Amino acid sequence: MVEGILPAGPIPLTAVQIEAARQLHDGYMPGWNASGAVLDVLRDARPGFDPGTVWLKVSALSALYGPLGLAAYTNLSAAVNCTVEVMSTSPAASAATVNAIEDAMGGDAIDAYRPFASKFVHFFVPSYGAVPIYDRWARERLDYHLLGPDELGYVPDTYAEFLGKIVSLQTSVSPAPSFRELDWYLWLAGHYAAWTPEASTHGPKELADIAGDPEVQALLALLCPDQAPTSELM
C-alpha cells in the first residue's frame, strides 16, 4: 500500500474505478472475458436443470471459474445432486436459491460453498443480473468501501446479508453498475489491494502477466488509487 494513513470509515466507490475495471477486463484479460462468454452461451444453449445439463454446467463452472471447493469428483457429484434438487423446486434467480444450494451442500465453514452457489445462479439462472457473485475478494472489497480498510475479514451469516451490502454499494455510484460490472471491479481491486511482496501469490496470473504494461499500470492506479501500481504482482 502507499505509505501514509488511509481514511477511516466508509470509502466511496466511483464511476472511474468501475470504468477502469471494465477496461482491464475487456481489453487486457481475454481469458477471463472468454470464460464469462462461454458460460453465457452455455446458459442459453442448455437452459434446463436436468442432471445431465447440471453436470455440464457445474463442470464448466468449476473449470473456468474455480477453485470452488469442487475439485474432487465426490464434491462435483454432490454439487450436481444438490443443485438439481434445489432447481427442481426453486428455479428463481434469487438470494433464496443461492441459500438453498449452499444449505443443501453444507460444509464446515460458514460460507464454504457460497461462492459456487452464487456463481451457478449468477451464470445459469435467467435474470442472472439479480444475483451478484460472492467470493472472498468481493466480500473484503465491499467491507473496505462500506466500513473502511480496518474492518476486513468479516464473513456474513447469509448470502442475503452480502446481497444487501452489494446493493448499497451499487446504488451509491452514478450511473449504477450492473452486478457483472461490480464483480469485475471487486475481484480485480480485491486481488490487487491484497498483494504484498511477502504474499506474492495473491496476484491473479492473467493480471500479473500484463502488469508491466504502462497502460495497465495507469488503469490499476485508477482502480485502486490508494495503492501504488506494481509490475510484480506474482
DSSP string, the chain: --SSPPPSS-----HHHHHHHHHHHHHH-HHHHHHHHHHHHHHHH----SHHHHHHHHHHHHHHH--SS--SHHHHHHHHHHHHHHHTT--SSSHHHHHHHHHHH--SSTTTTHHHHHHHHHHHSSSGGGS----HHHHHHHHHHHT-TT-TT---SSHHHHHHHHHHHHTTSSSPPPHHHHHHHHHHHHHHHH--GGGGGGS-HHHHHHTTSHHHHHHHHHH-TTS---S---
Distance, in Å, from the CA atom of 209 to the CA atom of 123, rounded to the nearest integer, reads 27
Distance of CA 48 to the CA centre of its chain: 24
For 75-94, write each residue's pLDDT tens digit. Answer: 788 899 999 999 998 778 88
Give yes or no for a contact between 142 and 165, defined as CB atoms under 8 angstroms apart.
Answer: yes
Across the chain, mean pLDDT equals 83
- Of the CA atoms within 13 Å of residue 105, those in its CB half-sphere come to 31
Question: Residue 5: is its pLDDT beyond 50?
Answer: no
Give yes or no for a contact between 160 and 209, defined as CB atoms under 8 angstroms apart.
Answer: no
CA Rg value for the chain: 18
Question: Residue 218: is its pLDDT beyond 90?
Answer: yes
Instruction: Give me the torsion for CA of 181, 149, 234, 72, rounded to 10°.
Output: -70
Closest listed residue to residue 155, CA positions, set 190, 186, 111: 111
pLDDT band at 229 (very low <50, low <70, confident <90, very high): very low
Report the pLDDT averaged over residues 48-67: 90
Question: Residue 171: is its pLDDT beyond 60?
Answer: yes
Question: Residue 74: is its pLDDT beyond 70?
Answer: no
Query: Structural domain boundaries of the chain?
Result: 15-29+133-223, 33-130
Distance, in Å, from the CA atom of 197 to the CA atom of 204, rounded to the nearest integer, reads 14
Give yes or no for a contact between 222 and 16, defined as CB atoms under 8 angstroms apart.
Answer: yes
Give yes or no for a contact between 121 and 131, defined as CB atoms under 8 angstroms apart.
Answer: yes
Give yes or no for a contact between 178 and 15, defined as CB atoms under 8 angstroms apart.
Answer: no
For 91-141, write each residue's pLDDT tens digit. Answer: 788 888 999 999 998 866 678 889 999 999 999 987 767 899 998 889 989
Question: Residue 172: is its pLDDT beyond 90?
Answer: yes
